[in-house]
Amino acid sequence: MDYKDLNLIGSSSPHIRTRDGAGHIMGEVLIAMVLPLAFAVYNFGPRALSTAAVSVAGCCLFELLYRLMMKKGNTLGDLSAAVTGVLIAFVCPVTIPYWILLIGDFFAIVVVKQLFGGVGKNFLNPALAARAFMLSWAGEMTTWVGPRSTIPAWGSFDAATYPTPMSFLHEGNLSGLQQMYDIPKMFVGLTGGSMGEVSALLLILGGLFLIWRKVITWYIPVSYIGTVALLTFLFPRGNDPLQWMLYNLLGGGLLLGAFFMATDYVTSPVSHLGQAIFGIGCGLITVFIRYFGSYNEGVCYAILFMNLTVWLIDKSIKPHRFGVVKAKAERRRKPRQSPKKEALKK
Amino acid sequence: MNIGKQIKEGLLTQNPVLVQLLGMCSTLAITTTVSNGIGMGLSVTVILTLSNIFISLLRKIIPEQVRIAAYIVVIAGFVTMVDLLLQAFFPDIAESLGVFIPLIVVNCIILARAESFASKSKPLPAAIDGICQGLGYTMVLIVMSAIRELLGSGTLNGAQVFPTEYAASMLALPVGGFLTLGCLIAFMQWVQSKAKGGK
């Protein structure tokens, strides 16, 4: 048979192609964040939307400028800068001044990401590193407004500090928290707090969407949230372990961090076992900071800290290669002696 | 003897902090204000130069086995001198540098230069080496403390440049020390690779 007349393209493998590029995956993450963002606009007013827009624009601008300056290719298309932008807005209070937001964008994109080689090479989660840096302005970063407030996008507003669930949890004041916010309110998200962290319901929906789309796996979120649940249930403050646990799970940035930040590909382990260890570590540190630290919330530092241990986790959990087991067992039976030791014996 | 080469090595290509990565502890700790940086840098320069000269003079007398101890004794002598002089004439700087002046005794820049250069050279090159390396250290301290003071508290050598509430206080904290030093080392590597004609 003569193959030359057939309409075939000769090429080497791989032959099956997928549309899953970085841009596609980041696009899915952006879709998952639409609902929490919409809820933030509903809960805090139009400023939530403008804050997110400014943050995304800032991140994209800094990425573009840096790549131009360094004469490298434009990487805006992979959308990771946009995701970082939305996440930075999510971890800030809605009243954050725009200039602090832009400094945070600069820190995340230029210092944490691009200086280390751009997308895929950052050693910390850019959004959380930016949040840690933005705590330089501790006053502005901890000015919370109450639920259902309408903060205008521009102009003056009354920024009275409003107690968030986390401040009650930090004091161990369960009954005060129960009076202020009941569990359904916490679940829907009618509380004060950072822009993106309030609505547990929509964050869980977004997380399930990501798991369904196979963008993230369930190992990190489940081990992270599970560890926090177990620890807070076993060591409650107040007389109701179940309520204490639920408030700890629904309050603060736990769900946002577990679904959207700890699962970042670049800064989480490769193997499933490693991801579980990573999640448990995040959970332990989160609870430790919430219980014993001077900050109300520990999610940010827990994830940042575990980011720094990823290389160690990946190194210690190496998958088994086929055929290696036997050789290893043989070596164990017959330990190879180093030349030095042999020389000493003589 | 090549003075030009020594100056270039001390300030740039073999800069004690940015290339040899020596004396990082004091660099990170004291670079919060420019006056601290200048005070510390000049103290180290003086001590480094004097101890280099002395160790070079004594290089044939000091037995090989106890050389480190002998260097430390020489260095400690000069550190004590500088410490007392600072306390007498610049009490403010002595106060703010605190324990880091006595700690110059174990500053690895001085020990490294004694071991790798002064103990093998004549007094004059050793003195020039001390001055060049010391000025390289001082230069880095001044640049670093200027960056940290300006961005971290909005002042430059004590003068207010912009209101403090706009300053990133994180940079005045230890975190900022590591961050600034890391950026400076990376910048130095970049400059050197450019100079070599690399990409």
Percentage above 70 pLDDT, chain B: 98
Per-residue pLDDT, A331: 59
Query: Mean pLDDT over all residues of chain B?
Result: 89
Structural domain range at position A136: 22-148+159-316
Q: Which residues contact B161 (CB under 8 A, 6 or more apart)?
A: B150, B154, B155
Q: Which residue of B has its CA nearest to A137?
A: B168
Per-residue pLDDT, A144: 87
Per-residue pLDDT of A204-217, as tens digits, reads 999 999 999 989 99
Among the ranges given (A134-138, A147-151, B56-60, B82-86), the one the predictor scored with the smallest mean pLDDT = A147-151
Q: Do A137 and B186 touch (CB under 8 A)?
A: no
Per-residue pLDDT of B148-159, as tens digits, reads 999 998 888 888
Q: Do A133 and B186 touch (CB under 8 A)?
A: no
Per-residue pLDDT, A208: 95
3-state secondary structure string across chain A: CCHHHCCCCCCCCCCCCCCCCHHHHHHHHHHHCHHHHHHHHHHHCCHHHHHHHHHHHHHHHHHHHHHHHCCCCCCHHHCHHHHHHHHHHHCCCCCCCHHHHHHHHHHHHHHHHHHHCCCCCCCCCHHHHHHHHHHHHHHHHCCCCCCCCCCCCCCCCCCCCCCCHHHHHHHCCHHHHHHHCCHHHHHHCCCCCCCCCCCHHHHHHHHHHHHHCCCCCCHHHHHHHHHHHHHHHHCCCCCCHHHHHHHHHHCCCHHHHHHHHCCCCCCCCCCHHHHHHHHHHHHHHHHHHHHHCCCCCCHHHHHHHHHCCHHHHHHHCCCCCCCHHHHHHHHHHCCCCCHHHHHHHC
- Is the model more confident about A295 or about A8? A295
> Does A123 touch chain B if contact means CB atoms closer than 8 Å?
no
Sort out which chain A residues have CB atoms less than 8 A from B186's CB and list them. 115
Percentage above 90 pLDDT, chain A: 54
> Does A111 touch chain B if contact means CB atoms closer than 8 Å?
yes
> Does B21 touch chain A if contact means CB atoms closer than 8 Å?
no
Total structural domains within chain A: 1
ipTM associated with this complex: 0.84
Percentage above 70 pLDDT, chain A: 90
CATH of the domain at A116: 1.10.3430
CA A138-A140-A145 angle, 5° bins: 120
Per-residue pLDDT of B12-43, as tens digits, reads 888 888 998 988 888 998 898 899 899 999 99
Q: Which residue of A has its CA nearest to B173?
A: A136
Q: Which residue of B has its CA nearest to A133?
A: B170
Residue A302 lies in a domain: yes
**Model confidence band, residue B141 (pLDDT cutoffs 50, 70, 90):** very high
Sort out which chain A residues have CB atoms less than 8 A from B165's CB and list them. 137
> Does B169 touch chain A if contact means CB atoms closer than 8 Å?
yes
Residue A237 lies in a domain: yes
Mean pLDDT of B123-151: 93
**Model confidence band, residue A338 (pLDDT cutoffs 50, 70, 90):** low
Helical pair B34-57 and B67-89, crossing angle rounded to 10 deg: 140
Per-residue pLDDT, A3: 64
Query: Mean pLDDT over all residues of chain A?
Result: 87
Residue A11 lies in a domain: no
Per-residue pLDDT, A111: 92
**Model confidence band, residue A141 (pLDDT cutoffs 50, 70, 90):** confident
- Contact A30/A79 with Cβ under 8 angstroms? yes
Mean pLDDT of B49-76: 92
How far is Cα of residue A49 from the mean position of the Cα atoms in its chain?
A: 20
Per-residue pLDDT, A286: 95
Q: Is the pLDDT of residue A130 over 80?
A: yes
CA–CA dist A80, A27 (Å, integer): 9
Per-residue pLDDT, A207: 95
Residue A338 lies in a domain: no
Q: Is the pLDDT of residue A332 over 90?
A: no
Residue A210 lies in a domain: yes
Q: Is the pLDDT of residue B52 over 60?
A: yes
Residue A196 lies in a domain: yes
Q: Is the pLDDT of residue A68 over 80?
A: yes
Residue A285 lies in a domain: yes
Per-residue pLDDT of B1-13, as tens digits, reads 578 888 888 888 8
**Model confidence band, residue A153 (pLDDT cutoffs 50, 70, 90):** confident
Q: Is the pLDDT of residue A234 over 90?
A: yes
Q: Is the pLDDT of residue A20 over 80?
A: no
Mutate to test the interface with A, among B164, B170, B173, B187 (most CBs of A within 10 A): B170
Mean pLDDT of A31-35: 93
> Does B46 touch chain A if contact means CB atoms closer than 8 Å?
no
Q: Do B168 and A103 touch (CB under 8 A)?
A: yes
Per-residue pLDDT, B165: 84
Per-residue pLDDT of B169-187, as tens digits, reads 888 899 999 999 999 999 9
- Is the model more confident about B45 or about A328? B45
Query: Could you count the other beta carbons within 10 Å of the beta carbon of residue B70?
Result: 17
- Contact A273/A313 with Cβ under 8 angstroms? no
Residue A292 lies in a domain: yes
Per-residue pLDDT, A164: 85
Q: Is the pLDDT of residue A339 over 70?
A: no
Mean pLDDT of A104-129: 92
Mean pLDDT of A120-128: 91
